[in-house]
Amino acid sequence: MITQDDLIALVRNYNPRCDENLIREAWDYGARMHEGQLRHSGEPYFTHPVAVAALLTEMRLDDATLITALLHDTIEDTKSTYSEVARIFGAEIAELVDGVTKLTNLQLTSSEAKQAENIRKLLIAMSRDLRVILVKLADRLHNMRTIRSMRAEKQAQKARETMDIYAPLAGRMGMQWMREELEDLSFRVLNPEARNSILRRFITLQREAGDVVHRISADIRTELDRNTIDADVYGRAKKPYSIWRKMQEKDLAFSRLSDIYGFRIITDSTEECYRILYVVHQRWRAVPGRFKDYISQPKSNGYRSLHTTVSGRDGKRVEIQIRTREMHEVAEAGVAAHWAYRDGKRSENPFAVDPVKWISTLTEGFDNADDHDAFLEHVKLEMYSDQVFCFSPKGDVIQLPRGATPLDFAYAIHTRIGDGCVSAKVDGLRVPLWTRLRNGQSVEIITAEGQRPQSSWIDIVVTGRAKSAIRKALRDEDRERFVRLGNELLRLAFDATGRELSPKALGTAAKLLNIPDIAELRARVGAAELSARKVVAVLYPETAHAAPEVDSSKPVVGLEADTDFRRAPCCQPLPGERIIGITYRGKGVVAHSMDCEALANYDEQPERWVDLRWVEGTHPAVYGVSLDLTISNDAGVLGRVCSLIGEHKANISDLRFVDRKPDFYRLLAEVELRGISHLHQVMTALEAETAVARVARSQDPALRP
């Protein structure tokens, strides 16, 4: 543990005018209150508040915040009281300590209804004084750094809570370094095998390629020197979780990831930023679609920077961020930059955002969420979002999260525009409604009288506002259909567990789930807002883990009687994926995954679309999926790969070699699986095998149903 003098020295480095006596008094008071208490590791408990205060000095925060860190557990865990803290240290610090105490008592991983209410309280606490959440984030970071001393189940609970709430909140506040560390510490607890696999690949890559970061940094400095530009260059490899998330999002093996290195160029002025961008693009080839100008269009938390990705040395893609020193301060501290001190004075950074305005942008629209699930979805999406900026035909700027579609754009303008949307033009060209928007695009929404939202839109949009509006419209418009579909799903779920589906049972379930009536319960199940298995589990908890075996001849719900059903060969959808049926005369219904490119062929024929759901439960391993594998041409490798697939209870029904080279083979393996989670298990195991250079799901849009 650092000493009292060490902490004072850390504070005086950026605030020589700090109230040293009050900080020392807070240290002595906290140490006295926590005397005799121990952490799980066996260390004195007071080492934790001291570590939290030290973390906050890295953000150059004010005396009140640091003193709050030293006292943040006193009211909760000791004989100290609010009135005593107020008497000794003043009302401001007492309010902050009390705010942190209330946040600590929130159980953010409880049931959806309770969790939604607690997150509302978290946001209210933030709106009163954002320094409360800064202390709480530092508290959580230190707890995650020392989590190994906790019980395994407690580690998993804290890691999930951190991954779901605190890491994205830190990112939304602009404290990207903290978000990355919180995510990686949680990743180490929740999926250590995957993290270790990535670290092993990194070690192998460094052994083969050498110090890539040093070489590319030197190349950038050479170009800057040649153009007489004064700037600092920093490079690093990205965190394991960041790489893992990109692998999952893009469905890529580690060997195919290119931009795993990031570089920052810090200079003195905005003009120099754009000049450096010109120099970088002159020297290296820019990757299309990977440039973002957050200087002209800053994020709501004040973040400003130029982002570009270029093909660097040996063809490797590298991400480069260019910003001024003042912008960098905000990029590191985020919203906390508002309180930062330098040389004993509040730092006058023109890019620091007003915390009151920032919190209002985060919470805007939350009160409109009409149920707990919608609120939770809204707040998590908003905290995870990374903005894109698009233009209306009139030139208005619409700010949306990364991955947003023209439908999100329509609902951001007005609910009436979203509900009536039939198509969209992006930069003058007509595009499907599920097109992902990019920075700087111009979007025109085309509406039609009588158009109503479709159920498939839920999986197209990403904003909480759009999802909430679509769900409300669907409930109002298609309530009767959802009630019928929900009743069928409930009947199947009750039959699978040998229970009787009765109005009394459904009435009890509705009461336990805080749903107004039976009709609303059926409608929510039919609209896929509530799982039929969850309804059964609420009534009969002993069935919660007993997933029924699904009849492979009737794997989906939503078909008319005696209608034939097939999976589309182009996308090979699996149980667990969102599916849409397309009717064919004489061929029945063919199911496509929601993101299948072939669906674009039926964009003008909505009458052929059928809303389908996979039956809940354990499906048999009969659904074939093609895996594209590249493996080393070494003795025993193919046998190990086949054994690995078999160990995960998957059957190989066909094996075809696509390419044979002296050092590798490429082959297509037809594997029979239970569903999408089974596929992820098999692919994760294969990616961890050192002899497998690449594994990907093979989908061919050219294959006709």
pLDDT tens, residue by residue, 556-565: 888 877 788 8
pLDDT value at 255 more than 70: no
Which of the residues 25, 77, 595, 689 is marked catalytic?
A: 77
Q: Which has more confidence, 546 or 326?
A: 326
Query: Looking at residue 407, what is its pLDDT?
Result: 93
Q: What percent of the chain has pLDDT over 70?
A: 84
Q: Does residue 551 come out as left (phi exceeding 0), alpha (psi in the -120 to 50 range) or beta?
A: beta
- Give the least confident one: 384-388, 546-550, 578-582, 673-677: 384-388
- Amino acid of residue 49: P
In a domain, 321, yes or no: yes
Enumerate residues 6+ apart whose C-beta is below 8 A from 601: none
- Residue 440 sits in which domain range? 360-476
Q: In this structure, are 126 and 206 located in the same domain?
A: no
Residue 501 β-bridge partners: none
Please report which confidence band the pLDDT of residue 313 belongs to, taking 50, 70 and 90 as the band edges.
low
pLDDT value at 576 more than 90: no
Best CA proximity match to 548, nearest among 644, 623, 616, 650 = 616
Q: In this structure, are 456 and 385 located in the same domain?
A: yes
Considering 476, 497, 529, which residue would you say is the last residue of a domain? 476
In a domain, 578, yes or no: no
Q: What are the structure tokens assigned to 399, written together?
A: 């700010």
- Give the least confident one: 142-156, 206-220, 362-376, 377-391: 362-376
Burial of 176 (0-12, 13-18, 19+ CB in 10 A): middle
CATH code assigned at 21: 1.10.3210.10
Q: In this structure, are 197 and 184 located in the same domain?
A: no
Top-ranked range on mean pLDDT: pick from 133-147, 239-253, 383-397, 532-546: 133-147
Average pLDDT estimate for 687-694: 80
- Amino acid of residue 702: A
Which of the residues 20, 25, 76, 112 is marked catalytic?
A: 76
Please report which confidence band the pLDDT of residue 299 belongs to, taking 50, 70 and 90 as the band edges.
confident
Give a three-class secondary structure readout of 69-120: HHHCCHHHHCCCCHHHHHHHHCHHHHHHHHHHHHHHCCCCCCCHHHHHHHHH
Q: What are the structure tokens assigned to 580, written together?
A: 């849409």
In a domain, 494, yes or no: no
Q: What percent of the chain has pLDDT over 90?
A: 22
Enumerate residues 6+ apart whose C-beta is below 8 A from 492: 532, 557, 615, 616
In a domain, 499, yes or no: no
CA 444 to CA 453: how far, in whole Å?
18
Q: In this structure, are 164 and 207 located in the same domain?
A: no
In a domain, 324, yes or no: yes
User: What are the CA-CA distances from residue 516 to residues 94, 504, 659 (Å)?
Assistant: 41, 14, 60
**For 599-611, what is each residue's pLDDT tens digit?**
878 877 777 888 8
Residue 584 β-bridge partners: 588
In the chain, how many domains are there?
4
Q: In this structure, are 72 and 145 located in the same domain?
A: yes
Q: In this structure, are 182 and 223 located in the same domain?
A: no
**For 492-506, what is each residue's pLDDT tens digit?**
888 877 788 888 889
Our answer to whether residue 76 is catalytic in this structure is: yes
Considering 461, 476, 491, which residue would you say is the last residue of a domain? 476
Q: In this structure, are 141 and 50 located in the same domain?
A: yes
Q: In this structure, are 95 and 235 located in the same domain?
A: no
In a domain, 525, yes or no: no
Considering 476, 493, 512, which residue would you say is the last residue of a domain? 476
User: What are the CA-CA distances from residue 530 to residues 145, 379, 534, 645 (Å)?
Assistant: 36, 19, 7, 33
Average pLDDT, the chain: 81
In a domain, 167, yes or no: yes
Q: In this structure, are 213 and 237 located in the same domain?
A: yes
DSSP structure string for 553-580:
TS-EESPPTT--EEE-TTT---TTS-EE
CA 422 to CA 432: how far, in whole Å?
10
Q: In this structure, are 282 and 395 located in the same domain?
A: no
Q: In this structure, are 316 and 449 located in the same domain?
A: no
Query: Looking at residue 112, what is its pLDDT?
Result: 46
Q: What are the structure tokens assigned to 480, written together?
A: 């009767």
CATH code assigned at 203: 3.30.460.10
Q: In this structure, are 149 and 47 located in the same domain?
A: yes
Check: pTM over 0.85? Answer yes or no. Answer: no
DSSP structure string for 411-465:
HHH-HHHHHTEEEEEETTEEE-TTPPP-TT-BEEEEE-TT----GGGGGT--SHH
Residue with tokens 């994020």: 299
In a domain, 338, yes or no: yes
DSSP structure string for 207-269:
HHH--HHHHHHHHHHHHHHHTT---EEEEEEPPHHHHHHHHHHHT--GGG----EEEEEEES-
**For 227-246, what is each residue's pLDDT tens digit?**
999 999 998 877 888 878 77
CATH code assigned at 634: 3.30.70.260
Find out whether 461 and 424 touch, Cβ atoms under 8 Å. no
Query: Looking at residue 110, what is its pLDDT?
Result: 45
Enumerate residues 6+ apart whose C-beta is below 8 A from 624: 572, 653, 670, 671, 672, 673
CA 489 to CA 556: how far, in whole Å?
10
Query: Looking at residue 122, what is its pLDDT?
Result: 60
627's enclosing H/E stretch is strand 623-632
Find out whether 620 and 552 touch, Cβ atoms under 8 Å. yes
